[in-house]
Structure 1
């Protein structure tokens, strides 16, 4: 499972359109940034600190495997990058990511 953080308008656009090229930074970089379970909380803290209205999107990496590359990024860690639009039918689940006491409250058991 890989994870994407979307702001509410980005998530709503994916649901309405059925496909997305991601957030503005994704479009600028030419791929959609994802994180693993071990990386996603740090991604939220680094890029979305104090942001309200986030959504945590879970995608089975097998569903996007043909266009997924694992590339070095922050601290030399390999991050999953999707070099194709993300389709709504590839989203396994989505849930709001509330801000609690200044930090995003991730669900237990992310794998």
Structure 2
């Protein structure tokens, strides 16, 4: 199963350069990297990245993350995937731009 992380351009550049990341400021503050499922990603973008351009969507296979990935209740009681260790660049299955169109982010049509 693929899970998704939305990156701002500087955060993605840092991951590319360092080879791993502990996430965005909110991730550092919370002590884990926030991910979303395919069903949750659009709402995450609307709630936390409204109107932001230059975003990137990264897909990560959940199973290889092992016990460091916890499914925990969050928004509306839904279970969200949270990674309790740095994410390695090599763990990103694919990444795609998340353009803004009409004030909303356009997600890939083939998103699992």
Q: Could you tell me the TM-score, scaled by structure 1's length?
A: 0.98
C-alpha separation in 1, matches of 2:66 and 2:12 = 22
C-alpha separation in 1, matches of 2:71 and 2:100 = 29
Structure 1 residue matching 2:27: 3-state secondary structure? helix
Q: Which residue of 2 aligns with 1:54?
A: 55
Equivalence map 1:1-111=2 (5 Å): 1-111=2-112
Deviation of 1:63 after TM superposition, in Å, equals 2.4
Q: Which runs of 5+ in 1 are unaligned?
A: none
Computed over aligned residues only, the root mean square deviation of the Cα atoms, in angstroms, reads 0.6
- Report runs of 4+ in structure 1 exceeding 3 Å deviation: none
How big is each residue's C-alpha offset from its partner over 1:24-77, in whole Å with a ceiling of 9 and x where there is no partner?
000000000000000000000000000001000000001212310000000000
C-alpha separation in 1, matches of 2:39 and 2:50 = 17
> How many residue pairs get matched?
111
Q: Which runs of 5+ in 2 are unaligned?
A: none
Deviation of 1:79 after TM superposition, in Å, equals 0.1
Deviation of 1:96 after TM superposition, in Å, equals 0.7
Q: Could you tell me the TM-score, scaled by structure 2's length?
A: 0.97
C-alpha separation in 2, matches of 1:23 and 1:73 = 18
